[in-house]
Amino acid sequence: MSDERIVQSVNKYGRGSDRGPYVIGIAGGSGSGKTTLAKHLCDRWSDLRVEVLVQDKFFKNSTEMPHYYSKINKDFRPSYNEPHSYEQRAMFSACQNLARTDSDVFIIEGITVLWFEELRDLMDLKIYVEVEPDERIIRRIRRNMKDTEDFDKIVDYYLESVRWQHQRYNSSTKCHADLIIPGGMAEKAMRNTIVDDLCLKISMYFEA
């Protein structure tokens, strides 16, 4: 159910105005719960016009991506966790266009969305979802094995690529976040408290 105060605020101050949607950026490591949080917000704000853009939509072709050398497989493999893994111009353009629509809320979700100044400048609220590494790898294994990916392949890729890229390109962007929240297996009550806080922030935005 949508937060009543937000809906009232949007109807009174937001819709039909020139200020555009409230833009939220959600970053975090692979398996941290970014997508889960975005979905939770959409469900909570079902009476609002919410647009969600997932950064993975802008992955380059695997042949055009940065590559890393796999010591295990003894070959070069595409890296999906770096800023240059994405079609940046297309991503910036899509986000800029959506930030000018008549939506009420626009959510940008992805591993490196806080890396890019061009995206941060669009955001009214920057969120980083933080989860312990062991929980992230467990969630990643469970998720990818559902897609019939081999266990050893998942672990090898994590150890050779994901782990160090997370430290370099992902966790380093926490300094840009306005709000760092626990993801993963956080208790439902804690998540509801976080969403209540977000609802208040957005209401204040439309009422300003």
Domains along the sequence of the chain with CATH: 21-207 (3.40.50.300)
Residue 163 burial by Cβ neighbours in a 10 Å radius (0-12, 13-18, 19+):
middle
pLDDT at 1 over 70: no
73: phi then psi, degrees, rounded to nearest 5: -95, -10
148: phi then psi, degrees, rounded to nearest 5: 65, 20
Tokens of 85: 């893994």
pLDDT bin (cut points 50, 70, 90) of residue 5 is low
Angstrom distance (rounded) from CA 110 to CA 60: 15
Rounded to the nearest 10 degrees, the angle between the axes of helix 188-207 and helix 34-44 is 60
pLDDT at 33 over 90: no
- pTM (2 decimals)? 0.80
* HEC profile of 155-171: HHHHHHHHHHHHHHHHH
Q: Give 47-100 pLDDT, tens digit per residue.
A: 888 999 999 999 999 899 888 888 877 888 888 888 899 999 999 999 999 888
pLDDT at 158 over 50: yes
